[in-house]
């Protein structure tokens, strides 16, 4: 044991983990993203460790680049993923980490090399987060090894300079909406329904859906208010149709009404059976969430007024105002009854 352990504290590292249902799609294939995340965790540990092996500012290794990566074989739920990482080159301000991923079937003993990856990390000072620190040198097994590493370093440097940020237009342009308009704060997310979102029989828990709805509505409210916002109430929600395992859920939210102290957000949940696409997309749930805005002491703040555009928004605002006044009246009546 001592052998592996002493190696672990030097410039190589092994991570392994059993692949679980939440790491995979419904057919049991582990997501590429699960593997990329494990690879990067190994790289981050080994990179940060190496860059702190000399006196001076403590630093954190930030991922700067991942070289092209192939997924050679699929991995499955129940297999063990072994990630081995090694520092293979150090320039003045960056380190290269090479990573191998193997899958192991612990029932049959079969192992397969599923990925090889190379990652570049740059150390940033923890005292001054914009400051890149120097990287301690590493020992190479041979001068040839260092030379090879240097070539890779120069090649990726060139490519990084060439690749400017692809400023592909936003996919769904909303023609730069003005702050405080409905278009400015509206938001949507998609979520691929995973095993932990579902009952044992493959239906999405209502609570999971409500959590996603609150997440989107909260982002709409925060985009509008730019403050700490908290959920104040949720209107009655009807669950019209079941959502099943393997669906993609689209959750969209838009501001409908704002009083001085609260704002209302309408949320839509659409389910899209990814594979049995003939069933078609359908609207599963809709609801209204109400948020209040808080300052740093937790005291309520005013809500910035909404800028309404078009009749539709005006109409929804009036409807929202009606709900607001009804709820206010109801709360007052409840209070009086209790006295």
Least CB distance to a copy of itself at residue 187 (A): 5
What is the SS3 string spanning 148-184? HHHHHHHHHHHHHHHCCCCCCCCCCCCCCCCCCEHHH
Exposure class string for 131-142: b at 16+ Cβ within 10 A, else e: eebebeebeeee
Q: Which segment (76-84, 131-139, 143-151, 257-265) binds a copy of itself by CB under 8 A?
A: 76-84
Q: Pattern of binders to a copy of itself over 256-295, x per CB under 8 A?
A: ----------x-x-x-x-xxxx---x-x--x--x----x-
Least CB distance to a copy of itself at residue 219 (A): 6
Q: Is 214 considered catalytic here?
A: yes
Site for a copy of itself in 87-116 (CB under 8 A): 100, 102, 104, 106-109, 111
Exposure class string for 43-81: b at 16+ Cβ within 10 A, else e: bbbbbbbbbbeeeeeebbbeeebbeebeeeeebebebeb
Does 240 bind a copy of itself (CB under 8 A)? Our answer is: yes
Does 242 bind a copy of itself (CB under 8 A)? Our answer is: yes
Among candidate residues 23, 197, 214, 270, the one labeled active-site is 214
Please, what is the end-to-end C-alpha distance for the chain in angstroms?
72
| Cα–chain center distance at 101 | 23
Q: Is 23 considered catalytic here?
A: no
Q: Pattern of binders to a copy of itself over 9-48, x per CB under 8 A?
A: x--xxxxxxx-xxx--xxx-x-xxxx-xxxxxxx-xx--x
Site for a copy of itself in 162-221 (CB under 8 A): 163, 165-168, 170-175, 179, 186-192, 194-196, 198-201, 203, 205-208, 210-216, 218-219
Least CB distance to a copy of itself at residue 85 (A): 9
Instruction: Round to whole Å and give the CA distance between 195 and 25.
Output: 9
Within a 13 Å sphere around the CA of 283, how many CA atoms are in the beta-carbon half? 7
Among candidate residues 25, 29, 105, 327, the one labeled active-site is 25
Q: Which segment (137-145, 146-154, 228-236, 299-307) binds a copy of itself by CB under 8 A?
A: 228-236
Site for a copy of itself in 317-336 (CB under 8 A): 327
**Binder to a copy of itself among 94, 103, 133, 250 (CB under 8 A)?**
250
**How big is the site for a copy of itself, counted in residues (CB under 8 A)?**
153
Closest by CA position to 218, among listed 193, 185, 169: 185
Does 140 bind a copy of itself (CB under 8 A)? Our answer is: no
Instruction: Round to whole Å and give the CA distance between 119 and 40.
Output: 8
**DSSP conformational letter for 132:** B
Residue 91: CB atoms within 10 A of its CB come to 16
Instruction: Round to whole Å and give the CA distance between 334 and 339.
Output: 9
Q: Which segment (65-73, 89-97, 143-151, 302-310) binds a copy of itself by CB under 8 A?
A: 65-73
Rounded to the nearest 5 degrees, what angle is found at the Cα of 141, between the Cα atoms of 35 and 123?
50
Nearer to a copy of itself, 33 or 143 (CB): 33
Does 135 bind a copy of itself (CB under 8 A)? Our answer is: no
Q: Is 259 helix (H, G, I), strand (E, B) or coil?
A: coil
Nearer to a copy of itself, 150 or 283 (CB): 283
**Binder to a copy of itself among 138, 232, 301, 308 (CB under 8 A)?**
232
Nearer to a copy of itself, 169 or 336 (CB): 169
Does 308 bind a copy of itself (CB under 8 A)? Our answer is: no
Least CB distance to a copy of itself at residue 60 (A): 5
The two beta strands, 12-18 and 95-104, are unpaired
Sign of CA dihedral 19, 22, 113, 36: negative
Just list the catalytic residues. Answer: 25, 214
């Amino acid at each position: 044991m001592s052998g592996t352990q002493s190696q672990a504290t030097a410039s190589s590292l092994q991570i392994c983990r059993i692949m679980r249902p939440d790491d995979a799609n419904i057919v049991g294939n582990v997501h590429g993203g699960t593997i990329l995340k494990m690879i990067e965790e190994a790289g981050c540990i080994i990179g940060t460790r190496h860059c702190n092996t000399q006196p001076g500012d403590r630093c954190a290794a930030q991922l700067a680049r991942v070289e092209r990566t192939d997924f050679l074989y699929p991995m499955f739920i129940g297999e063990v993923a072994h990630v081995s990482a090694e520092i293979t080159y150090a320039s003045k301000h960056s380190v290269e980490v090479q990573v191998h991923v193997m899958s192991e079937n612990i029932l049959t003993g079969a192992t397969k090399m599923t990925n090889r990856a190379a990652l570049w990390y740059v150390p940033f000072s923890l005292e001054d987060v914009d400051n890149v620190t120097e990287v301690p040198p590493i020992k190479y097994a041979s001068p040839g090894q260092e030379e090879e590493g240097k070539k890779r370093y120069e090649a990726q440097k060139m490519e990084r300079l060439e690749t400017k940020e692809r400023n592909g237009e936003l996919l769904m342009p909303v023609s730069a909406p003005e702050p405080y308009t409905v278009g400015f704060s509206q938001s949507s997310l998609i979520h691929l329904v995973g095993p932990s979102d579902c009952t044992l029989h493959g239906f999405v828990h209502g609570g999971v859906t409500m959590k996603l709805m609150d997440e989107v509505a909260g982002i709409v409210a925060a985009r509008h208010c730019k403050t700490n916002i908290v959920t104040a109430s949720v209107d009655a929600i009807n669950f019209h149709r079941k959502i099943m395992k393997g669906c993609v859920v689209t959750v969209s939210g838009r501001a409908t009404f704002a009083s001085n102290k609260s704002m209302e957000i309408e949320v839509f949940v659409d389910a899209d059976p990814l594979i049995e696409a003939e069933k078609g997309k359908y609207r599963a749930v809709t609801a209204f969430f109400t948020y209040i805005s808080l300052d740093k002491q937790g005291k309520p703040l005013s809500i910035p007024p909404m800028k309404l555009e078009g009749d539709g928004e005006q109409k929804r605002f009036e409807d929202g105002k009606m709900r607001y006044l009804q709820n206010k009246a109801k709360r007052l009546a409840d209070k009086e009854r209790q006295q």
